[in-house]
Amino acid sequence: MSPQKAWDRVQAARQPNRPKAMDLIPYLIDHFIELSGDRHYGDDQALLGGLGSFEGQPITILAQSKGRDLQENMSRHFGMMHPEGYRKAMRLAKQAEKFKRPILCLVDTAGAYPGLGAEERGQAEAIAASLKLFATLKTPVITVVLSEGGSGGALALSVCDKLYMLENAIYSILSPEGFASILWKDESRAAEAAELMECTAQDLYAKKLIDGIIPEPAQGFASGIPDVVAQIKDLLRQDLNTLGSLKETVLLDRRYAKYRQIGARV
């Protein structure tokens, strides 16, 4: 795909017909079994979590899940997780660690759910606890940003050993509209804000904040799901083989060093 401006990629990431996590999982994972609930409050449909098999190897899936239409998006909160969603993710992550299953996280959210109820039930604490847990999980964690990766809502599932982004995905501290509203009090300058934020996969790879970019078909992600999935499978196969061969102490030391280096760069 030819070079694009940041705002073009923001718009591509938000295309209504862009494939969602639920579209990819059947291509990626065999025998997927969804697991629900956080064992504290309830189930959050914004997180599609469960376990399955990747080329014969058991694996846990944690996928932020937008809907394909308005009704489905309403039920899934447009992929914006509540505290119970992060607690469900942590429950399944601990289960994966116990049974020595690697974890694949699929990120696709504008951010954590901003409602009053989410705050009352401990949104910030749940995100902080998720960051802490994933930093110390004794099992490989691989994250792929499918479309939008917004703020702490995305970061909570992005403390990992390998982090990849699709070519037209974005990852940022907040939306370009929010950035423009704060900086200039003018949401209409979102396109300008997107350039300043350097939120594209290309920007983040250049800064060595992600481990790789997954190309998309020239006609867009929706036109070639199998091609994109094949590339994700290649990365998974390679990383699971490499990371799975490491001792737990080495895995944790490498993850710690990875984020110390990122902290030093930013």
Rounded Cα–Cα distance for residues 167 and 247 (Å): 32
pLDDT above 70 coverage of the chain, percent: 98
Residue that wins the pLDDT comparison between 199 and 1:
199
33 three-state secondary structure:
strand
End-to-end CA distance of the chain: 28
Please give the structure tokens belonging to residue 231: 């590339």
pLDDT band at 262 (very low <50, low <70, confident <90, very high): confident
pLDDT at 161: 97
Please give the structure tokens belonging to residue 186: 């003018």
User: Which tens digits make up the pLDDT trace of 142-169?
Assistant: 999 999 999 999 999 999 999 999 999 9
Whether residue 28 contacts residue 51, with contact meaning beta carbons closer than 8 Å, is answered with no
pLDDT at 1: 42
Q: What is the average per-residue pLDDT within 171-188?
A: 93
Residue that wins the pLDDT comparison between 84 and 3:
84
Rounded Cα–Cα distance for residues 232 and 172 (Å): 22
pLDDT at 183: 92
pLDDT band at 266 (very low <50, low <70, confident <90, very high): low
Q: What is the average per-residue pLDDT within 34-42?
A: 93
pLDDT at 263: 74
Q: What is the average per-residue pLDDT within 191-217?
A: 95
- pLDDT of 2 above 70: no
Q: What is the average per-residue pLDDT within 207-221?
A: 92
pLDDT at 52: 97
pLDDT at 219: 84
The C-alpha angle with vertex 108 and arms to 101 and 153, in degrees rounded to 5, equals 85
pLDDT at 220: 82
252 three-state secondary structure:
helix
- pLDDT of 27 above 80: yes
DSSP per-residue string spanning 40-76: SS---TTEEEEEEEETTEEEEEEEE---SSHHHHHHT
Q: For the chain, what are the domain ranges?
A: 6-265
pTM here?
A: 0.94
pLDDT at 264: 74
User: Which tens digits make up the pLDDT trace of 43-82?
Assistant: 999 999 999 999 999 999 999 999 888 899 898 999 999 9
Whether residue 195 contacts residue 176, with contact meaning beta carbons closer than 8 Å, is answered with no
Average pLDDT, the chain: 94
User: Which tens digits make up the pLDDT trace of 87-146?
Assistant: 999 999 999 999 999 999 999 999 999 999 999 999 999 999 999 999 999 999 999 999
- CATH number of 6-265, picked from 1.10.540.10, 3.90.226.10, 3.40.50.300, 3.30.70.20: 3.90.226.10
